[in-house]
Chains A and B, each alone.
Chain A
Amino acid sequence: MDVLDLSRWQFGITTVYHFLMVPLTIGLSIVVAGMQTAWVRTGNERYLKMTKFWGKLLLVNFAMGVVTGIVQEFQFGMNWNAYSRFVGDVFGAPLAMEGLVAFFVESTFLGLWIFGWDRLPKRVHLACVWAFSLATVASAYFILAANSWMQHPVGVEFVDGRPRMISIWAVLTNNTALAAIPHTIAGAFAVVAAFLVGIASWHLWRRRKQDDEHRPVWRSSLKVGAWLGAVSFAVLAVTGDFQGKLMFEQQPMKMAAAEALCHTEQPASFSILAVGDVTDPNCENVKTFTVPALLSFLAHNDFTTEVKGVQDLVNEYAARYGSHYPDDPALGELAGKPIDYVPSLPVTYWGFRAMIGFGALSAGLGLLALWLTRRGRIPDSRWFPRIMLAGIVTPFAANSAGWIFTEMGRQPFVVVPNPTGIDGVWMFTARAVSNLSVGEVLTSLIALTTVYLVLGVVEVYLLRKYVRGGVDGVMPPKPPADPANPDDPGGAKPNDALAFAY
């Protein structure tokens, strides 16, 4: 493999890995902030236990999210230096803003929250959890604005061979970004919803026949999770539909690839499943279940719109952006070769279906759990906790599939040309990569993948351990009371010790 392929694999692996932690962190930090607010407002011990239990899982996950994020910040310059030079004037700004406005708040107030239980007044401590959880959303906003600019460049002019920013406002209110943000945040809440439902169901079931003092903790967690899941799925469907309409206008090739629509259709039908090879030039023949005219509706809100197929689009792209790569040695093996404008159809076609399918499955499981536990019931079946725990995987899978579809659907471009935008502001991925040696990129690919794999195993082990430990595993043990001698001068006073120490 050459440096381009290795770099693409590396960015894909590290980003997909990072985005396993990110949605859980975003969703769980807001939910934990809500739980702590409920405790501060009502004084009900149940909410404190919920805050402590889910807060501990949040911290185990947060650490991994942070360290895998550092890699992302530097990878642009390391592996994609030509890209960084080309887009730095506009792409660097949201990245630097993310650091200045969001990362500092997240990291500082997270430290205050972890260590400040007995050092800060209750309400100040509560403000800390809100500060870092809202900062996670802010950082998502900035990085999505940066990513959306790659999908749909706006707010720039083209000077001296490079895009030059003329409006930060246009970059931060890119309609692609405004659609991606609610979709991504709802996806994050879907993750935490399944997390809450799965773990709470298991705890409820485990001690279903005994008296469990923590039962209200699990019942409330399950309810919060299930409703959250239902609402997020509704938001995901609405924002996803909106994103689809934008994609139809802004990235028609991605739309066609999502459907493996080889030939232009009017009205276009929506394919549900395909048996056989979707890369076949006559891919229409392998589609098994189709809904007539639905794709036209998804694209343009009516049932008659023409949706362009892959083959027509390839001709259009070749006419506008060339049919062959320039004969430039910087392009390596691709120099002078024909440009393949079609993204990997199996990945986009199945990625799109996996995203929708896993998302719907996840929402359905949440509602099922809500129904099965209605009015104080706890199912006796062994299958109940197993299915709910397995359901935790579904929104993670949906999120990964969605991102893989979004990113691989824009190939061969790293900056996709904006159909109504400025001439020149687009870039082939092949042009973006650094001139590194294969050995260097191979080293980093192997090192990062191995370290991530090991740490992933450690994180899952710790999450499992703390999930099994339940509420008792995270509440500090009560100081041993000695009623005979209330002010024993021998030992250190309990309030001398820190409430939390690593």
Chain B
Amino acid sequence: MDLPTIWFCVIAVFWLGYLFLEGFDFGVGMLLPVLGRDNTERRVLINTIGPVWDGNEVWLIVAGGAMFAAFPGWYASLFSGAYLPLLVVLLALIGRGVAFEYRGKVDSPRWRRTWDRVIVISSWVAPLGVGLVLATTVLGLPLDAAGNRVGSPFAAVSWETLLGAVAIAGFALAHGAAFLALKTAGDVRARARALAIRLLPVVLIPLVGFLLLVQWREGSLWTVLPLAVVPVAGLVARWRLAGDRDGQAFAALGVAVAAAAITLFGALYPNVLPSTLDPANTLTVAETASSPYTLTVMTWVAVFGAPAVLVYQGWTYWVFRKRISTQHIPPVHTP
């Protein structure tokens, strides 16, 4: 494989890491009012991702930074082309991050209610927006010869990209429920598990539907394979949840999101952003790639950096591996 192709794969891996890790983070936020009946239960939910959500979010930043370094044209055209959707994602991520950190800093029901609302809304909006942007890069934008979007600021919004948005948000919901079943104990766990079992078949429908659409529009022969894995892995997850094996169910959903990412990026390659205006304006891996020298430098950084990240992030999950239940939540202590 040549360097640009390798870097296309690296960026796909960063996006996959993001979808996998922040998928369940978003799911936990979405389920906050559903599974958390009182403040202590809601704190249980939030603290399942407490030590890790920030590290999970960095995957998005690095995915963006890697696009900038390896494929500046892709980064520039996608981010300016899908300007308003990205703005909405950014606003949601701002709200979410601050809400987690500030929610417990004042002991007042009104204060907590406000931040809970911010968490729930942003946990819905962010995956919808991320899904929309991902769908846009696969399905394309009306790009002119310079790689600039022509036409309306809402060019990135169509029923196809909205389906992609719902697909990613739906997956996040299921993944969050399965994660909570794995990470909590007692009542919260029982409810999370029951909900995950009920949700799983339903929320995977938009994901599979969106992948079929992508396959039909852009797919190659081989992308049928990972596409077929997605519903199978989803059903395996449901079966393992019903069999009380939370860990296996969570892993099966990990396989599902990996297969979905492989389908999406596999269908996209060798393009990075199709032009819906004129195929000649389509941005490709080869045309947008940085120089061989830059890619070589970045490869060395990634070869040493990425495994280290996996090791210490894995270690963090190990350190905080215990299930959390209401009895582990300390009393509120604020000045």
Contact = CB atoms under 8 A, between A and B. Distances in A.
A461 to B, nearest CB: 9
A4 to B, nearest CB: 14
A321 to B, nearest CB: 23
A383 interface: no
A53 to B, nearest CB: 10
A434 interface: yes
A466 B73 CA distance: 46
Interface string A43-83: 00000000000000001101110111011011011110110
B69 A498 contact: no
A116 B51 CA distance: 9
Contacts of A496: 327-328
26 contacts: A74-B79, A74-B90, A77-B67, A78-B79, A84-B75, A85-B73, A88-B69, A88-B73, A88-B290, A91-B68, A93-B297, A101-B305, A104-B309, A116-B51, A119-B319, A168-B294, A434-B80, A436-B80, A437-B153, A451-B94, A458-B102, A465-B105, A465-B335, A473-B334, A498-B328, A498-B330
Contact of B301 (A66, A101, A112): A101
A198 B198 CA distance: 56
A57 to B, nearest CB: 11
Interface of B: 43, 46-47, 50-55, 57-58, 60-62, 64-73, 75-80, 83-84, 86-87, 90-91, 93-95, 97-98, 100-106, 147-149, 153, 290-291, 293-294, 297-298, 301-302, 305-306, 309, 312-313, 316, 319-320, 324, 327-331, 333-335
A443 interface: yes
B61 A469 contact: no
Nearest to B93: A70
Interface string A444-471: 1001100100010010001001101110
A62, A68, A88: which has the most chain B beta carbons within 10 Å?
Answer: A88
Residue of B67, B72, B91 with highest tally of chain A CB at under 10 A: B72
Given A165-B291, A470-B335, A104 B329 contact: no
B78 to A, nearest CB: 7
Nearest to B325: A496
Contacts of B55: 104, 107-108, 111
Contacts of A448: 87, 90-91
Contacts of B64: 73-74, 77, 99
Contacts of A499: 330
Contacts of A476: 330, 333
B90 A82 contact: no
A377 B164 CA distance: 67
A77 B329 contact: no
B301 A100 contact: yes
Contact of A95 (B51, B65, B149): B65
A323 interface: no
Given A84-B76, A444-B87, A76 B68 contact: yes
A64 B97 CA distance: 8
A462 B103 CA distance: 11
A119 to B, nearest CB: 6
Nearest to A501: B47
Interface in A93-113: 93, 95-101, 103-105, 107-112
Given A455-B94, A501-B330, A502-B43, 9 more contacts: A67-B93, A74-B86, A77-B80, A107-B57, A108-B52, A164-B294, A166-B293, A466-B105, A502-B104
A246 interface: no
A85 B146 CA distance: 10
B284 to A, nearest CB: 15
Contacts of B98: 63-64, 67, 455, 458
B322 to A, nearest CB: 9
A274 to B, nearest CB: 40
Which of A68, A74, A84, A114 has the most CB atoms of chain B within a 10 A radius of its CB?
A74
A81 B77 contact: yes
A175 interface: no
Between B153, B294, B309, the greatest number of chain A beta carbons within 10 A of the residue's beta carbon is seen for: B294
Tell me the dominant secondary structure on chain A's binding face. helix
B145 to A, nearest CB: 12
A81 B69 contact: no
A473 B297 CA distance: 48
Given A107-B54, A501-B330, A465 B106 contact: yes
A63 B101 contact: yes
Nearest to B312: A108
Contacts of A95: 65, 68-69
A279 interface: no
A92 B7 CA distance: 13
A491 to B, nearest CB: 10
A85 B76 contact: yes
A66 B94 CA distance: 8
A451 B98 CA distance: 11
B281 to A, nearest CB: 14
Contact of A165 (B77, B294, B333): B294
A481 B248 CA distance: 42
Nearest to B103: A502
Contacts of B331: 477
A470 B335 CA distance: 8
B316 A108 contact: yes
A100 B62 contact: yes
Interface in A430-448: 434-437, 439-440, 443-444, 447-448
Interface string A466-502: 1011101110110000000000000010001111111
A473 B149 CA distance: 53
Contacts of A501: 43, 47, 50, 104, 328-330
Contacts of A114: 50-51
B293 A164 contact: yes
A302 interface: no
A67 B102 CA distance: 13
A96 B291 contact: no
A333 interface: no
Shortest beta-carbon contacts, A-B, top 4: A88-B72, A469-B335, A473-B335, A77-B79
Given A89-B291, A107-B58, A497 B335 contact: no
A93 B319 contact: no
A120 interface: yes
A73 B316 CA distance: 25
Contacts of A11: none
Contact of B320 (A82, A99, A119, A447): A119
B125 to A, nearest CB: 13
A90 interface: yes
Contacts of B312: 104-105, 108-109
